[in-house]
Chain A
C-alpha cells in the first residue's frame, strides 16, 4: 500500500511519543537495509543539521525607552555599529559589521577580530556589552546621548532575523594563481594547493528536501540552540537551477530567511567568526525536521554524500571577475575523503562547515521531537520551487 502521512498525523504521534525519528545520516543505512517502502512506512521524521558561517545573519534588538525619551539614530554595541534607521529604540545588528577603528585590510590580510557576529555571540553568552546611542533630538524624543553597559536580559526584545541562511549547496573553493588568497572560502593556497568546501552534505537541511516539498513559511526549526521558524525564502533563493539526476542542485540554489528568539539561543550554536583577509561573520547552527509524507520524501532524505555534487570554482580568477567556468565537479564523498583530483593533480581538501556540530544538531532535534517537546510546523505557504509553482 502507498505510504501517505500528513503533518497532523505525524504531530499526533509526536504528542503520543510514538513518532519514529532518525537523523539524515542514520536514514541512509536504514534505507540500504530495509528498502524505501518499509523505511517510509516506519520513519515519521528525519532530522537534519548544519553549522557553518552564514554572513547574511543578524538580529533585531529593542533597547527599551530611556528617560527622557530618545529617538536613537546611531547605535553601537561594543563599538560595532547597528542599523538604527527604524523606530526610536529599535536597531538591527548585522553579522558582518566590523568594529569601528578596525584596520580592515590596510595591512593585508586583515584579522577582523571583532564584529557584529561577535556581538551576537557575546549577547547570547550573557556577557556584558557596551551600548552607546546618539540622536538629533525632537520635541517628543529630546535626549541626544545615551551610554550603558547591558546584557541580553536588559533588552526588551531580541530576535535573530537572518535574510539568507542554510544554502542548499555551495561552490567549492580553489585557487590557480601563484599567490595565496584570503577569501570567504578560507585561505586558498597558490597553484591549486588546497580545496575548501562548506556544506554538511548529506546532513544539510535543504539537500534533504531538494524541491522544498515540506520546508516552507512557518516551518519550525532548531535555530542557534533555540526554536525558530522559516520566515520566507532567503535572498538569492535560486530554484530554477542545475540539478543532477537525483534532483540535487549542483550549485548554491535555495536559501532560507530564518527568524528566532535570541533569548532562547546559546553561544554553542552562534559563534562570532573572523575570516582572515575577508571580514567578520557569524557561524550559525540550524536543524530542520523533514516529515516523511510519502516514499518520495524518504528517498530525498536518504541522499548520501556520494549523490551530492558541486563545482570547483577558481576564487583566484573567474570568481572575482564574475566570469563563468569551473575546474570540474566532485561529490561530497570525495571531498570528505580528504583529497580530490583536479586538472590531473591530487589536491587536499578541508571543510569550513562543522560536520560533528551538524550531527549534534540533528541528534538534538531528534531528542526534542522524541521527547514531545518539538512538533512539526506545517508551512502556511510553500517556497518557490519547480514543484511549487502556482
Chain B
C-alpha cells in the first residue's frame, strides 16, 4: 500500500552536494514532489517534499537518510500555527492559496490543516500578530 507524506530533509554542508533525490527515486522507488528548497551561504539547507511510496520503501529510505546524516521531520512540525496567540481574525485565510488555513463555519474560527500547506509563506505576511512561524 502506498503512503503520502510531506517531509522536510535538512542538509548540512557535508550532505548538501549529494544527489539525494536521485537516490531516493532510484534505490527506494519514491515519487517526490518538491514543495520548497533552499541552501544558505553556509551550505546548510532544506528540501521540503511530498513523497509517495510503498510503506516499506519509505521506511527504508528514512533509515538510509538518517544513516548519511540527513535530519527528516514532518512538514507540520516545521510550520507552526500558535493557536493560543491566534485571535481568529481570519486575515491569513485570504492569503493562503491552498485552504490549509481556513475558517470553520458557523463558528468563524480559524483552523490549520498542515496536510494542505505548501510552505509559501503568504500567511507569515498576512497574519498581523505573527502567530504563524516556519522553522527550517
Contact = CB atoms under 8 A, between A and B. Distances in A.
A186 interface: yes
B128 A274 contact: yes
Interface in A283-302: 283
Contact of B89 (A52, A189, A281, A348): A52
B33 interface: no
B126 A336 contact: no
A186 B126 contact: yes
A350 interface: yes
For the complex of A and B, list the 7 residue pairs with the smallest distance between their C-beta atoms, beginning with the closest.
A350-B94, A273-B128, A355-B108, A351-B90, A354-B89, A276-B125, A356-B88
14 contacts: A51-B87, A52-B89, A113-B130, A186-B95, A196-B91, A273-B129, A274-B129, A276-B125, A349-B94, A350-B93, A351-B90, A356-B107, A356-B109, A357-B88
Given A187-B94, A196-B94, A349-B94, A354 B126 contact: no
A187 B95 contact: yes
Give the interface SS of chain B, mostly helix, strand, loop or mixed: loop
A271 interface: yes
A275 B91 CA distance: 10
A336 B122 contact: no
B interface residue count range (under 10 / 10 to 19 / 20 to 34 / 35 or more): 20 to 34
Interface string B101-122: 0010101110000000000001
A364 to B, nearest CB: 15
Given A196-B91, A349-B94, A355-B108, 12 more contacts: A51-B87, A186-B95, A189-B95, A194-B94, A195-B94, A274-B129, A283-B87, A336-B108, A348-B94, A351-B91, A356-B107, A357-B89
Nearest to B102: A338
A137 interface: no
A352 B128 CA distance: 9
B110 to A, nearest CB: 9
Q: Which of A182, A349, A353, A356 has the most CB of B within 10 A?
A: A356
Given A336-B108, A356-B107, A351 B89 contact: yes
B103 A338 contact: yes
A330 interface: no
Contacts of B94: 186-187, 189, 194-196, 348-350
